[in-house]
Every structure is written in C-alpha cells, then in structure tokens.
Amino acid sequence: MSAGLTTTPPIVRQFRQIVVWPVQLMPIKAGAPVQCHWEALEKVKDGNPWQRWRGKFNIGETEDFRERHYKEFVTFLPFVQRFLYGSPAGQEKSEDSGVSSIRVYRRNDVASARLTFADGWAHECAIHRCDLYFFHDADVLILVLEISSSELPLDRAQDLLFRFARAYPAFWEKDGSPGNCLRKVEWLDGRGAVLATSDHGDKERYIDHVARNRTPCLASHWSWLIQPLGLEMPGQSASLKFRQLEYYRMPFMAYLSLDDPHRLTRADFVRLAYVTRPGPSEELEFSEASLEQFETNYCDDRYWGRSGGRNKGDTRLVCTGRTIALVGEHENSFFSGFETGLLAQFRHQYFLLFLIAHFNKAALLSMSDELAVAMNRLSVGETESVKEFKRTIRQSMEVFLRFTHRYWFHAVSNQDQARMLFRRMREHLRLDELYEEVRTEAMDMSTYLDTDSVRRQANTVLRLTVVTIFSLIGTIATGFLGMNLLSEADKPLLYRIGLFLLVSAATVTVTGIMIVKSKRLADFIDALSNDRIGWRRKWLEWKKVW
C-alpha cells in the first residue's frame, strides 16, 4: 500500500490470553518435609469455590475426550506423560487411580471479566478456565486464568496485554489513575452480576499496606479470585498463605487471529514480545541496534514469510520466556482449528510447555528462598538453632533431589516445534543457570554440615584418645601380673561394696577431670612429643592443664 493511503487498524478476530501466576506456598506443618497444601484447601468448607478437577484424562470417563486431548497426550515423551497424567498401571500406580504429580482445582462461578481502559472504554471478555495447580513435593501454586474476546482492534488487544496481568499498580499518575493498569477490572458471574472489583485507584491503601507489612498489596480483584488463600503478612488468618516469587507482572500466553497477519509490522511484533504500550505501527519502541537479533532470539518463523500460495497461511510464534504470542490468519483452519489447529495446540500443548517451564523456575526460586530463610534463622552459638538448621538443610536436600528426579526436564517432546519452544523458554528463563545456583547453594550447606560433623567426631576421638592414654597408666600399674595391692577379699560384704563404690567414684571423678581437661592435655601431649622444644616449655604446657 502507498504511504499516503489511510487504512483501518487491524482487527483481532479472536483474542485469547492465558495468565500463569506462580506463587510460593507457606508451610502448613512446621518441620514437615512434604506439605500437602491441597488438603488444607479441601478442608475449607464455607465459601470455598474451588473443586477438584481431574481433567479429560479421568480414568473410566471418555465421553468428553476429544482429538485435541489425544494430540496433547502424544506430544509428550512417556516420562512427561506420567508426570502430567499419572499412570493407572505399573510401578507408578498410586492409591488414587494413577494420579499425576499435579492436582488441579477449578472454580466455575466467574464467567466473564469486564475491563475498563484508561480512556473509559469498557469491554467484556469471557473466562474459559480459572484453575489452581498444586504440585507434589513442591511449595508452589500456579493460578491459571484464560480469557477470550473477539473483534478487538489491535491497539486495544496490545493495551489489554500490557495492562491486565498485573498483581498491583506500580505507580499512580498525577490525576490519581493507576499507572500501567486498567482503570477497573470486574469479575462477573453467569448472569452478569459483579462478584469483585479492582481497587487500582486506592493509592493510600497500597502505600499504607507496604509501610505496615513490608509486603506488596494485591489488587482486590486478584486477592478475591485466589481466596481462601491469603497473602502472607502480619495478622493473616488464612489457613493457606502464599507469597510472591517474581515480578508483579504475571507471565502469559497470547493468541491473535487476524484477517491478514502480514499487516502487523516489525514494531507490532516487538510490542507483542516486550509487552509494551500500543503505538504507531511504523515506529519501533526501541532502537534498531538493540533489536538487531530480535527475530533470531524471539521468533519462530518456520511458517512465516513463505513463498507462493502457502504465504496465505503464514503464522508466527514469538517467545520471550515470560510471554508467548501466536499470530496467524483467522480463516485458515491450520491456525484457528479448535480440534487440530494451532488454536488447540496453543490451549493444550503450548500451555503445558509454558506451565512446566514456569513451574520449574518457581520451584527453584522457592527452594532458594527456603535455604536463605534457614540461614537467617541460624544462630551458631545456640545448640537448638544449629540442630534445627541441620534438619532444615537435610530436608531441603531431599526436596531438591525429588525435584530433580521428578520435575527437572531438559526435553519433554520429540516433536520439532514443541521441542524448540521448550528449549527457547528454558534459555530465556535461564533455568539451567538457576538450577546450578540452587544446587551450589544446597551443596555448600551440605558440605558445611558434613565438615561440622567431621570436626565434632574428630574432637570426640581426640578426647577419648587423651582419656585412654592417661587411663593406661593406672590400668597397667594395677593390672601388672594380676597383683592386688590391697587384699580385701575376706572383709565383710558391706565393707567391700562401700570400697567398690568409693573406688568407682574416684575413677569417675578422675575420668571426668581428664575429659574436661582433654583439650589442654592433648596440647601437652603434642608438646611432650615435640623434640624441638625444651623441657621448660613442656613443663609450662603441663602447668597450663591445671
């Protein structure tokens, strides 16, 4: 098109966003190596909207099992399948019909979200799932929320991605409006009634909360959505508590189908990748130099920019680790097919890849935090503190080993695009570096415990050796040729018992004195065996003993 021809902005025919919010769960049983947080959730009866959801892979129920679920299952390698879906037979079979390592709880009372933008424009998005993901042997919870809309202008879609998935405002404008957040978010039930509303504009509440509790204040609509879990802070009465692990911007996936995806410029894709504000399509958000490797680092273009008639079905996948954006043609079944197209893969295979990668990162951050907490609680001069520290570190090592052998995957699929996407996410999230960092921290603490144990054993052996050496003198003197210095065998029984107790008490006393003085006696023995010092120095070492 010519530069002077004005065109209408691209319309996103179908828009989807899947928000993935990892948080760290606080222990519910102090000192327990494995925390079953979902049991505490199930015990909450009054007002608890969360119900166990077994998914489409529930044993014995196949009515709702579709081709998209089948394609999801066969995407993954066998050991990942057992992790995600469990195994109803074989050595992995559990009491819960082959339950997977993941437990999912879903709430169905929230049907849609009404979003009000900074300029007052309101738009309603459907909510397709709102789930809580628990993981065995990991103090991590992931909230998953999927929203969708249709016929959304591209700039509105970009603005929604930029503003929606934020746990709280970062700042406020001069007029009091929340910075970088939607003006209002409302959760609606199936009849359109408001269940909860955001409070982004209540500046004093957020500032006062941080000043009092030294922890960020969640926006009211997110706080309501995740109830009965409560943010860890002084005075929190919720039985299940959590704390944030990462930045207040939540990771998410985005799906955008358009009539002609080639109308999106390089600047539009940069905005999708870096999740920035909407702007002119011809203006880059950042400098050309900083974006020199943009396509290489973040774009999968195997189906983009093809020649001939195949160009019509072009799709582009943009992955930065914290976000995934999938862009393609709305009318093309390869892209928008709900059962076998990329839309189905986006909601199933790609979602699980995204979930696994962010769970790995959250679990490693959680373990690192627990190691730091254990170190902060250590008081070297207090015996009980040292014992508690040792127990905590040993438990942390066990948790780390279970995580490594159950959840740590370098590859999850042999399908080319799934393998590439997972590898790209791992690289951008720097999971290998984080794993090595946590492993080094755990090994350093374990080495400290081993060294401390060896030191204590050496001290014990040293003291026993000193006591043995000095006890040999009396043993040899009294036992030489079996002679008895005192013949008391013919004395009365009570006399002999009294004499035995007296000798025993004297022996115990002498032994106790030698144990107490064993360190100084060891120094004296070292001096006595040293040919390079004189007898005067040896005599001084003997005097130091007493």
DSSP line for 383-396: HHHHHHHHHHHHHH
As a 3-state breakdown, the chain gives helix, strand, coil percent values, each rounded to 5, of: 45, 20, 35
What's the CA gap between 424 and 353, in Å, rounded?
A: 11
Does residue 73 sit within a domain?
no
Shared domain for 284 and 386, answered yes or no, is no
Does residue 294 sit within a domain?
yes
pLDDT(396) > 90 = no
Shared domain for 439 and 484, answered yes or no, is no
Residue 311 φ/ψ, nearest 5 degrees: -60, -25
What's the CA gap between 334 and 392, in Å, rounded?
A: 52
Domain count, the chain: 3
Does residue 234 sit within a domain?
no
Shared domain for 442 and 342, answered yes or no, is yes
Whole-Å CA distances, 368 to 21, 62, 191, 379: 19, 41, 45, 19
pLDDT at position 1 is 40
Contact 115, 37 (CB under 8 A): no
Q: What percent of the chain has pLDDT over 70?
A: 82
Shared domain for 375 and 446, answered yes or no, is yes
- Residue 337 Cα to chain centre, angstroms: 34
- Rg of the chain over Cα atoms, rounded to whole angstroms, equals 34
Average pLDDT, the chain: 84
Between residues 432 and 57, the one the model is more confident about: 432
Q: What percent of the chain has pLDDT over 90?
A: 45
Shared domain for 533 and 456, answered yes or no, is yes
Q: Which residue type sits at 353?
A: L
Does residue 188 sit within a domain?
no
Shared domain for 391 and 467, answered yes or no, is no
pLDDT at position 470 is 63
pLDDT band at 91 (very low <50, low <70, confident <90, very high): very low
Average pLDDT over residues 426-435: 95
Shared domain for 446 and 471, answered yes or no, is no
CA-closest candidate to residue 429, choices 351, 355, 350, 367: 355
- Prediction pTM value: 0.82
Token readout for 295 is 């396509």
Orientation of helix 518-528 relative to helix 535-545, angle to 10°: 170
Between residues 236 and 418, the one the model is more confident about: 418
- Residue 40 Cα to chain centre, angstroms: 19
Per-residue pLDDT reduced to its tens digit, 365-378 = 999 988 888 888 77
Query: Would you call 251 exposed, middle or buried from its count of C-beta atoms within 10 A (0-12, 13-18, 19+)?
Result: buried
Lowest-confidence pick of 251-260, 284-293, 454-463: 454-463
Does residue 303 sit within a domain?
yes
What's the CA gap between 408 and 403, in Å, rounded?
A: 6
Per-residue pLDDT reduced to its tens digit, 321-350 = 999 999 999 988 888 888 888 999 999 999
Query: Maximum Cα–Cα distance for the chain, whole Å?
Result: 129
Domain stop point among 279, 309, 329: 329
Domain that holds residue 461: 452-545
What's the CA gap between 124 and 10, in Å, rounded?
A: 20
Shared domain for 306 and 361, answered yes or no, is no
pLDDT band at 305 (very low <50, low <70, confident <90, very high): confident
Shared domain for 415 and 513, answered yes or no, is no
Per-residue pLDDT reduced to its tens digit, 517-534 = 766 766 666 666 666 777
Shared domain for 309 and 413, answered yes or no, is no
Provide the terminal-to-terminal Cα distance of the chain, rounded to the nearest Å: 101
Does residue 518 sit within a domain?
yes
What's the CA gap between 166 and 217, in Å, rounded?
A: 12
pLDDT(314) > 90 = no
Shared domain for 447 and 457, answered yes or no, is no
Average pLDDT over residues 231-244: 87
Contact 326, 354 (CB under 8 A): no
What's the CA gap between 50 and 104, in Å, rounded?
A: 9
What's the CA gap between 152 and 307, in Å, rounded?
A: 29
Shared domain for 439 and 350, answered yes or no, is yes
C-alpha triplet 538, 539, 540: angle, nearest 5°:
90
pLDDT(215) > 70 = yes
pLDDT(154) > 90 = yes
Token readout for 88 is 């109803």
Does residue 157 sit within a domain?
no
Domain stop point among 329, 358, 385: 329
Does residue 534 sit within a domain?
yes
Average pLDDT over residues 410-432: 93
pLDDT(353) > 70 = yes
Q: In the block, which residue shows the tokens 């399948």?
A: 81
Domain stop point among 308, 329, 350: 329
